[in-house]
A and B are shown apart, each in its own frame.
Chain A
Amino acid sequence: MVPNDNSKASGIQIQKIDDLTIEHIAKLARLKIDNSQIHEFSDQLSKVLNYFEQIAKVDTTGVEPMVTPTEIEEVWRDDVVSHDFTAEEMTGNAPSKMGNLFKVPPVV
Chain B
Amino acid sequence: MDLLNASMADMREAIIDKKIKCVEVSKFFLDRIDKLDKKLNSYITLNEKCLAEAARIDEKIQKSESVGLLAGIPFGIKDMLCTKDLKTTAGSKILDNFVPPYDSTVVARLKNAGAIVLGKLNQDEFAMGSSNETSFFGPCRNPWNLDCVPGGSSGGSAVAQAARLAAGTIGTDTGGSIRQPASFCGIVGVKPTYGRVSRYGIVAYASSLDQAGPMVSNVEDAALVLEVICGKDSKDSTTSQRAVPNFYKNLNSNIKGMKIGVLKEAMGSNGMNEDVALARDQAHEELKKMGAEIIEVSIPLTAQSIPMYYLIAASEASSNLARYDGVKYGFRKEFKNLEAMSLDDFYSETRGEGFGTEVKRRIIIGTYCLSSGYYDAFYNKASQVRRLLTQQYLEAFKKCDVILSPVTSAPAFKIGERVADPLAMYLNDIFTTSTNLAGLPGMSVPFRISKQGLPIGIQLTGGHFEEQSMLNVAAALEAVNGLKGVHPNV
Could you list which residues of chain A lie within 8 angstroms of chain B, going by C-beta atoms? 3-4, 7-8, 11-13, 17, 21-22, 25-34, 37, 41, 44-45, 47-49, 51-56, 58, 60, 63-71, 73, 75, 77, 84-85, 89-96, 102-107
Contact = CB atoms under 8 A, between A and B. Distances in A.
Given A31-B360, A85-B101, A75 B237 contact: yes
B382 A55 contact: yes
20 contacts: A11-B381, A25-B364, A27-B348, A30-B322, A30-B348, A33-B360, A51-B307, A54-B307, A60-B388, A63-B385, A65-B384, A69-B390, A69-B440, A70-B194, A70-B464, A73-B241, A93-B97, A95-B330, A104-B346, A105-B343
Contacts of A11: 377, 381
B102 A103 contact: no
A25 B378 CA distance: 15
The 5 closest A-B CB pairs, nearest first, are: A3-B373, A69-B439, A32-B352, A65-B383, A93-B329
B208 A68 contact: yes
Contacts of B363: 29, 31
Contacts of A65: 380, 383-384, 386-387
A32 to B, nearest CB: 3
Interface stretch (B33-41, B274-282, B334-342): B334-342
A17 B364 CA distance: 11
Given A31-B363, A32-B353, A63-B385, 20 more contacts: A12-B377, A29-B363, A30-B325, A30-B344, A30-B351, A33-B352, A37-B357, A41-B361, A41-B364, A55-B304, A58-B388, A64-B387, A69-B194, A69-B209, A71-B195, A73-B237, A84-B102, A85-B102, A93-B328, A106-B339
B310 interface: yes
Given A70-B464, A93-B329, A60 B352 contact: no
Given A29-B363, A32-B349, A12 B338 contact: no
A88 to B, nearest CB: 9
A45 B310 CA distance: 12
Contacts of B347: 30
Contacts of A33: 352, 360, 364
Contact of A45 (B195, B332, B364, B440): B364
A102 to B, nearest CB: 6
Interface string B176-196: 000000000000000001110
A54 to B, nearest CB: 5
A45 B357 CA distance: 13
A70 B27 CA distance: 42
Interface in B371-430: 371-374, 376-378, 380-388, 390, 422-423, 426
B134 to A, nearest CB: 14
A27 B368 CA distance: 11
B423 A45 contact: no
B384 A63 contact: yes
A40 to B, nearest CB: 9
B352 A34 contact: yes
Interface residues of B, number: 83
Contacts of A73: 237, 240-241
A102 B328 contact: yes
Interface of B: 97-99, 101-102, 193-195, 208-209, 234, 237-238, 240-241, 301, 303-304, 306-308, 310-311, 318, 322, 325-332, 335, 338-339, 341-344, 346-349, 351-353, 355, 357, 360-361, 363-365, 367-369, 371-374, 376-378, 380-388, 390, 422-423, 426, 436-440, 464
A3 B360 contact: no
A29 B318 contact: yes
Contacts of B382: 52, 55
B201 to A, nearest CB: 12
B376 A8 contact: yes
Nearest to A53: B307
A7 B374 contact: yes
A94 B325 CA distance: 11
B88 to A, nearest CB: 10
A7 B307 CA distance: 17
B200 to A, nearest CB: 12
Contacts of B307: 51-55
Contacts of A29: 318, 322, 351, 363-364, 367
A1 B48 CA distance: 53
Contact of B343 (A27, A77, A85, A104): A104
A55 B386 CA distance: 10
A22 B349 CA distance: 16
